Amino acid sequence: MKKASGIIGIIGGILGFIAAIFTLMAGGFVGALESVSGDGGDAGATIVQFGWLGVLAAFLTIIFSALMFNAKSKLMPILLLASAIIGAIFGGTFVAVCMVLCIIAGIIGFIGVGKPE
């Protein structure tokens, strides 16, 4: 179960990274539209900040998923779950959809850590 959770988490992290890059591009596009219209709003900057938080959460989920293969304690699944939840909350909608895979991987890893393979 540790291997399955590691693989699922890595796939979710990679998809989350791609979604975070898309969020960054969307934030830049919104920021460019705001500067052209002269509105002066902060929506583009906020979206870019969400994109960077999504990138950070995606990297953390990839790292913790890779460490799940040799996990002996329940610390790695907890860290994977925490980074996936942070990414789902602060990363934006596209990142949140991808972090569902990482949340599932964390739950599977939490169940399978104490069992011999």
The band of 40, judged by pLDDT with boundaries at 50, 70 and 90, is low
Least confident span in 29-43, 58-72, 79-93? 29-43
User: Does a structural domain hold residue 106?
Assistant: yes
Q: How far is CA 48 from CA 10, 23, 38, 53, 105, in A?
A: 24, 7, 19, 9, 27
User: Does a structural domain hold residue 108?
Assistant: yes
User: Does a structural domain hold residue 94?
Assistant: yes
Sign of the torsion angle spanned by Cα atoms 53, 59, 62, 68: negative
User: How far separated are the first and last CA of the chain, in Å rounded?
Assistant: 8
User: Does a structural domain hold residue 95?
Assistant: yes
Residue 116 has pLDDT above 70, yes or no: no
What average pLDDT is seen over the chain? 86
Per the structure, the complete domain to which residue 86 belongs is given by 2-112
Residue found under tokens 């988490």: 9
User: Does a structural domain hold residue 24?
Assistant: yes
Residue type, 102: C
User: Does a structural domain hold residue 83?
Assistant: yes
User: Does a structural domain hold residue 117?
Assistant: no
The DSSP symbol for 53 reads: H
User: Does a structural domain hold residue 84?
Assistant: yes
* Tally of domains in the chain: 1
